[in-house]
Amino acid sequence: MKLQKDKYIKMEILEKQKLIKIIKDTFEKKLSKQLDLTRVSAPLLVTKESGLQDDLSGVERKVSFDILKDGKELEIVQSLAKWKRMALKKYKFPLHKGLYTDMTAIRRDDKMDETHSIYVDQWDWEKVIAKEDRSISYLKRTVRKITKAVYETCQYLKSKGFVQLEICKDVHFITSQELLDLYPGTTDKEREYLITKKYRTVFIMQIGDDLSDGKPHDMRAPDYDDWELDGDLLFYHELLDMALEISSMGIRVDKTSLLRQIKKAKKEERLEYSYHKAILSDQLPLTIGGGIGQSRLCMLLMGRAHIGEVQASYWDKDTLAECKKLGIELL
């Protein structure tokens, strides 16, 4: 952990909890206004055969169990990327309107460090778009609106004397290939750090497909984001001197991009799921959507050194020992 000790301001646990509530309430209102979203309730559990589970990079193990009633095996969601698109149709959302929800998940294979936890909490959102909206320009406009919601939340906190943080509201856009060309011979995380430290607020586009070095910038499931129209939103976290990913989002696959990406990933068996069949038969709306980390946003805006300062989760002995040594009190 690269903690800038001279910049770390300790907070009492109750003070943290009160500020977390203020941040979440404020940001929700600003996000829903910027993107024209309505809050809905969402599931914690899905069945495997529904095809609604998010496979993330495709290797993470799901948390599953059978129930007493009928022996059906259920899985705890890893995200709601696919469920939201189905919900937009079910709830009959009109063009350019959308939904957001509080998503909680368990990712048992996630590493534990200052920004990662096996417990995931985020605002999952999804919005109906038109065919002509499936473009880089529309993606960029949406990213700027989300960034504006973050910036306005920060400004509100500053006006109330809660924080003294500066957030850069101007987003620097760059594709993952352009980033590799700019910093050859580096890892994806090293590149993210270098570009984000320079520009403070960065959106890295087109993540999932192989780059010129034969590897993707980061792994993406082939059946929700269009790899040519997606990306990650990063903010520079000065306290930890790192690039902090706040959101992963994108314009979702249509029939053409779904088939292309499924074939490339060699996951053709998924085309038998009801979700995938609905896309191939044009039964689902075209959408844009993503997830925005609740704890990550609180960590950024509150100037916290560890995600465990803003969420109650499980931590291993090494994490607990390191935080105690640095004087970091976890929830």
Please identify every residue annotated as catalytic: 54, 107, 122, 232, 245, 248
Cα torsion angle, 44, 48, 51, 54, sign = positive
**DSSP percent split of the chain into helix, strand, coil, nearest 5:** 40, 20, 40
CA distance 309 to 196: 23
Which whole-number Å values give the CA distances from 45 to 29, 73, 85, in the listed order? 27, 10, 16
Q: With beta carbons less than 8 A apart as the criterion, state whether 194 and 165 touch.
A: no
Residue pair 297/27 in contact by the 8 Å Cβ criterion:
yes
Counting beta carbons within 10 angstroms of the beta carbon of residue 290, is it exposed (0 to 12), middle (13 to 18) or buried (19 or more)? buried
The token duo for 138 is 């529309």
For residue 306, give every residue at least 6 positions away whose Cβ sits within 8 Å of its Cβ, in sequence order, or none: 1, 114, 299, 323, 328, 330
DSSP bridge pairs for 216: 210
Cα–Cα distance between 146 and 330 in angstroms, integer? 28
CA-closest candidate to residue 252, choices 290, 197, 293, 205 = 290
Is residue 24 within 8 A of residue 298, CB to CB? The reply is yes
Residue 246: count other Cβ atoms within 10 Å of its Cβ: 23
As a whole number of angstroms, the distance between CA 104 and CA 186 comes to 33
Give alpha helix (H) positions in 67-126.
83-90
- In the numeric block, the tokens 């689902």 are attached to 284
Return d(Cα 7, Cα 238) in angstroms, integer: 9
